[in-house]
Chain A
Amino acid sequence: MAEVRYEAASRLYPGAEEPAVNKLNLDIADGELLVLVGPSGCGKSTALRMLAGLETVTSGSVHINGVDVTLKPPQDRDIAMVFQNYALYPSMTVAQNMGFALKQAKVPKAEREAQVREAARILDLTEYLDRKPKNLSGGQRQRVAMGRAIVRKPQVFLMDEPLSNLDAKLRVQTRTELVDLQARLGVTTVYVTHDQVEAMTMGDRVAVLKFGELQQVDAPRTLYSAPANKFVAGFIGSPAMNLLDAEDVDGAPGIAGAAIPLEESVLSQLKSQDLDQVAVGVRPEHLTLGTTGIEGEVTVVEELGSESFVHVTVSHRGEPTTLVVRDRGETETGRGDRVKVDFGGPIHVFGSDGLRVEA
């Protein structure tokens, strides 16, 4: 078992102006499942590959279990990696694929086979042990890739978008299986994904990256309820938070002519700031349709059965702006209806520097 630590770790690609990962500081606890999430090109995969030893750390250091592994080759780090395309050895059977690392480590054959069988049992792969990867379905290949990782009993699992090649239904199912498996094995895991739903549902903690910079690392709930900056606020949550540049309503931030109910401490912090630069965010579930509030017109209703998302166009800062409101089927609305939107929950305020203004 092991904890992982990035200490101001950077990766600058030769010829690049900006580092792909910039001074990453991250502590991952023993047995934790940490998800690295961000849009493409944010450096999440690079960060993972730095931990794997597949990418050079240009400055800073990476530690596994207290040992500085910055300069160690991948094979000396006691890690296992699951790749997006699984990277199964096509010329080997499932059993050979899973036992390959053990064979390299010169584990005796009998022991090797026992461990492969055990992993195959856990992953329900026993009947496929003699097949070649090309004769497996996508989900089975994914499990073989997992099996190859768990057979080794490594200190750390590294997973680079391991579910993105599965179809939607299988992805959701495998997601929960993976979380369960990780918890049972108790192996420290770093998991990379671009999918914020995957990040939220799987991670003990989630680290959000953008342009190689760590934005926030927190438990999913904290990330959702108290995003540290505008980027995290917009990135986490589906549908996304209504995030608007504020309007100056009598010296306080507002939306579409309506002042936002804010605590005194927040307002006082905003005193020194240009209100045009301040951003306010409200999640769709914290807006309500009713008889009071901002007036607007319904343009789209996304019906999901249990709830619906109503897109209301309001006039904000003199331009038509869409607010997304979650409705639990309490009101019947359709396109073209005039409705009123009111605030019914926490409102996030971000200062001109993009950072969260705490109450």
Chain B
Amino acid sequence: MALFTRAPKAEPILGQNRVVAAILGLLTWIIGLLFFFPLFWLVLNGFKEESVANASPTLVFDPTTDRFCDVTATSKWVSWFTELTNLCQPSEVTGGGLLTFSEAFSNSFWIVLISTVLVMILAVPAAYALAIRPMRKWRDVLFFFISTKFLPIVGIIMPVWIIARDLNLLGTRTVLVILYTAMNLPLAVWMLRSFFAEVPKELIEAAQIDGCSLMGQLRQVILPIVAPGLAATALLCVIFAWNEFFFAIQLNPTGASTMPVWVNAQQNFQGQFLAELSAASVLATFPVVIAGWVAQKRMIRGLAMGAIK
């Protein structure tokens, strides 16, 4: 996460052997690079010709942005961008199917935005109640929330599909908004509850004595304090909803679907598609990485909250 924030220089722990420290440092780098490598390879493949991508792995090649053009060829946004910058010429239109990049992007954008807003609207009061005015058995309630995540989605996809069909929601954005809201709600309640629990009790009591209503306490006193936590939670919901694939492909495989389905559609049954698939994946990952990077400062503050004074 912290790409551009420098960590303070690590002080050697007293009594720790320098050699041990060096080995541990090296190990950290190796593990970090192991995690980073697939992503690196994905980006690299996106800039290759199909033939190069499918040949034996190499780091030496002529980079090209043509694959990005190919996968977005039918997209009206990107075509004007291509004309404007003259970065590349699309070779031929392959894959993609019915769903274009711009459609998938805007579908994803709206579905993620609306579901995240809904999640926050529903989760804030729930978390407030659980953290600040807990009732009896509140731990059981909290457990119930998270228990909905124990169930493998594949186990409930049939009934969900049937319900969606009966409600005429198959192939709509609405069904994904509903499911993503339900999917992220338990997580958001859990996260927000822990942020709310860190708000000093005295602040709420002071507000009470100052004559502040319940809504006033939430709006004027509590929310400004947990704002970083809200941002962190919302970002996580955005990431999960943006990347969700299973519900999208099952319930909404065609025109009104999202980025992951569009990425999946870059596979085809004739010819090679690895480079195009990589380029599409990079495009699909990009917004999330940007969002994460922009929010990282707030997010870290959110995750490290707890200053009373």
Please determine whether B200 and A85 come into contact, CB atoms closer than 8 angstroms.
yes
Complex CA distance for A52 and B203, rounded to whole angstroms: 14
**A-contact 0/1 string along B281-309, CB 8 Å cutoff:** 00000000000000000000000000111
Please determine whether A79 and B200 come into contact, CB atoms closer than 8 angstroms.
no
B contacts with A: majority SS: helix
Please determine whether B208 and A90 come into contact, CB atoms closer than 8 angstroms.
no
**A-contact 0/1 string along B226-248, CB 8 Å cutoff:** 00000000000000000000000
A91 at the interface (CB under 8 A from B): yes
Please determine whether B203 and A54 come into contact, CB atoms closer than 8 angstroms.
no
Please determine whether B208 and A87 come into contact, CB atoms closer than 8 angstroms.
no
Complex CA distance for A165 and B211, rounded to whole angstroms: 26
CB within 8 Å for A83 and B211 given contacts A90-B225, A91-B225, A141-B309? no
CB within 8 Å for A79 and B210 given contacts A85-B200, A89-B203, A141-B309? no
Q: A80: which B residues are within 8 A, CB to CB?
A: 209
Q: Which among B200, B202, B209, B216 has the highest number of chain A CB atoms within 10 Å?
A: B209
CB within 8 Å for A75 and B202 given contacts A90-B225, A91-B225, A141-B309? no
Q: Which among B200, B206, B216 has the highest number of chain A CB atoms within 10 Å?
A: B206
Q: Which among A74, A87, A100 has the highest number of chain B CB atoms within 10 Å?
A: A87
**A-contact 0/1 string along B195-227, CB 8 Å cutoff:** 000001011011111111000100011001100
Q: B308: which A residues are within 8 A, CB to CB?
A: 85
Complex CA distance for A85 and B307, rounded to whole angstroms: 12
A-B contact pairs, 23 of them (CB 8 A): A53-B209, A54-B209, A74-B205, A75-B208, A75-B211, A75-B212, A79-B209, A81-B206, A83-B205, A85-B309, A86-B309, A87-B206, A89-B221, A90-B307, A91-B221, A100-B220, A101-B209, A101-B210, A104-B210, A104-B212, A141-B309, A148-B206, A165-B309
* Sample of 11 further A-B pairs with CB below 8 A, known A81-B205, A84-B202: A52-B205, A75-B208, A79-B209, A80-B209, A85-B200, A85-B202, A87-B202, A87-B203, A91-B221, A101-B211, A133-B309
Give 3 closest A-B pairs by Cβ, nearest first. A91-B224, A87-B202, A101-B210
Q: List residues of chain B with CB under 8 Å of any chain A CB.
A: 200, 202-203, 205-212, 216, 220-221, 224-225, 307-309
